[in-house]
Amino acid sequence: MRLFVFLGVALSVYAAMHAVVYWALRPIWAGAPRAGAGVAAWMAAMVAAPVAVRLLDRAGLEAVARPLARAAYTWLGLVFLAFWPAAALGVGQLLASGLGALLPTEPLRLRTPAVAWAVLAGAVALGGYGAWEATRLRVERVRIASTKLSRSLRIVQVSDLHLGLLLRNQTLDRVLRTVEALGPDLLVATGDLVDAQIDHLDDLSRSWASFTPPLGKLAAVGNHEVYAGLGQSLAFLEKGGFRVLRNEAVAVGSDLVVVGVDDEHAPGPRPDPERLFARIPAGTFVLLLKHRPTVVPGAAGRFDLQLSGHTHLGQIFPFRLFTKLAYPMQHGLYALPEGGRLYASRGTGTWGPPMRVLAPPEVTLIELVPEEPY
């Protein structure tokens, strides 16, 4: 029932965004009712297309689902980009009409063909830039010094890659080349490595398995592992050589313990900080893998560094303003009041629209180094 309510709200909001964009662009086809009807029919089809993609994918019709997904999610990104100037145009037109009603002058007309073409051209140009930015993988470097460490460790974090219908071998090959060049001792994945149906991604599992850092590969469960089907998601990760930490801790070397917790959408009991942290020897550096950049209740002060993702930094500006409301620690390194730090990644791939605007993808190199005690 909750799924149907969410789906209904999401589709209603998406349809309303289309209505605003249609209103703003209507001067382009003014006087051509057939063209307007065609645009309206296309928009209606695109509102329903993401649902159709999921249904086709689940039915095993990948050959149909993939091209439809590329069209539907590219269009989704363009609508997002066109909506903001269209909404601003609507507000401006309301203000101009109100001012015109008060003054003995002709109301200012903001919705003109020239303005409509500018909105459309701007959205297409930004969409093209966003598609390019989504391929410009950056390496972010974080250096943490601690008296708990006896030697330096290089840890690489990937997050929110969303391998599935759209992101496949080309994307993963680019990520793996970047990761390998960094020479990590340990590779960690903080959730959402997969998206949608993944029973046809065996070649990607083999690509992951071909990379074997000295201290191995560890992963935590994100919400999209759950959406894709937790069983097949775990199988995909394990075939790729990852050990998935599901509310458990594992010692890595002599003075590092890595704890991984499930996303809150995963079935089963919630993480128990007492059980997770109580048996870790004092003086051990504790690294926590958690998909969402929030602190598990009761875990504050029990770890040295938490690695997270999930927000994508909004992925397409200005959505970061909204993701920040839910996740204030949405990008970068934060010192926590109770001790320890949290690092939130922008994510390594894309979800939905295959584009990023002012939120480039990242692979993160975390360098843990010994610090002499005072």
- What is the residue-level pLDDT of the chain in tens, covering all 374 positions? 665 777 788 899 999 999 999 999 999 998 888 999 999 999 999 999 999 998 888 888 888 989 999 999 999 999 999 999 999 998 888 887 776 556 566 666 778 899 999 999 999 999 999 999 999 999 999 999 999 999 999 999 999 999 988 898 999 999 999 999 999 999 999 999 998 766 667 788 899 999 999 999 999 999 999 988 889 899 999 999 999 999 999 999 888 999 999 999 888 888 888 888 888 888 899 999 999 999 998 888 899 999 999 999 999 999 999 999 999 999 999 999 999 999 999 999 999 999 999 999 999 999 999 987 66
Helix (H, G, I), strand (E, B) or coil at 369: strand
In the CATH hierarchy, which fold is given to the domain comprising 139-370?
Purple Acid Phosphatase; chain A, domain 2 (3.60.21)
| Contact between 139 and 361 (Cβ < 8 Å) | no
**Parallel, antiparallel or unpaired: strands 186-189 and 362-370:** unpaired
Backbone angles phi, psi at 258, to 5 degrees: -110, 130
Cross-sheet strand order for the sheet of 153-158: 138-146, 362-370, 153-158, 186-189, 217-219, 243-244
The torsion angles phi and psi of 21, rounded to 5 degrees, stand at -65, -40
User: H-type helices in the chain, by residue range?
Assistant: 2-25, 33-58, 62-102, 113-133, 169-182, 202-209, 223-227, 230-239, 273-277, 320-326
Q: What is the DSSP string of 231-278?
A: HHHHHHHHHTTPEE-SSEEEE-SSSEEEEE---TTSSSPPP-HHHHHT
Residue 73 sits at φ, ψ, to 5 deg, of -80, -30
Tell me 295's DSSP state.
P
3-state class (DSSP) for residue 269:
coil
Dist. CA 271–CA 290, nearest whole Å: 11
Tell me 261's DSSP state.
-
Query: What is the spatial distance between Cα 108 and Cα 301, in angstroms, rounded to a whole number?
Result: 59
Place of tokens 């965004």: 17
57-116 per-position pLDDT tens digit: 888 888 898 999 999 999 999 999 999 999 999 888 888 777 655 656 666 677 889 999
Task: Compute the Cα dihedral for 222, 224, 225, 227 and give only its sign.
Answer: positive
Q: Give the pLDDT confidence score for residue 99 in this predicted structure.
A: 63
**Of 220, 241, 249, nearest to 160 (Cα)?**
220
And the tokens for 216?
């191995």
Domain ranges of the chain: 2-133, 139-370
pLDDT at 373: 65
pLDDT at 61: 85
**pLDDT for the residue 269:** 83
| pTM (2 d.p.) | 0.92
Q: Is the peptide bond before 360 cis (omega within 30 degrees of 0)?
A: no
Tokens of 113: 């063909």
- Percent of the chain that is helix, strand, coil (3-state, to 5): 45, 15, 40
Phi and psi for 370 in degrees, rounded to 5?
-70, 145
Supply the DSSP symbol for 194. B
**Integer Cα distance of 171 and 137 in angstroms:** 10
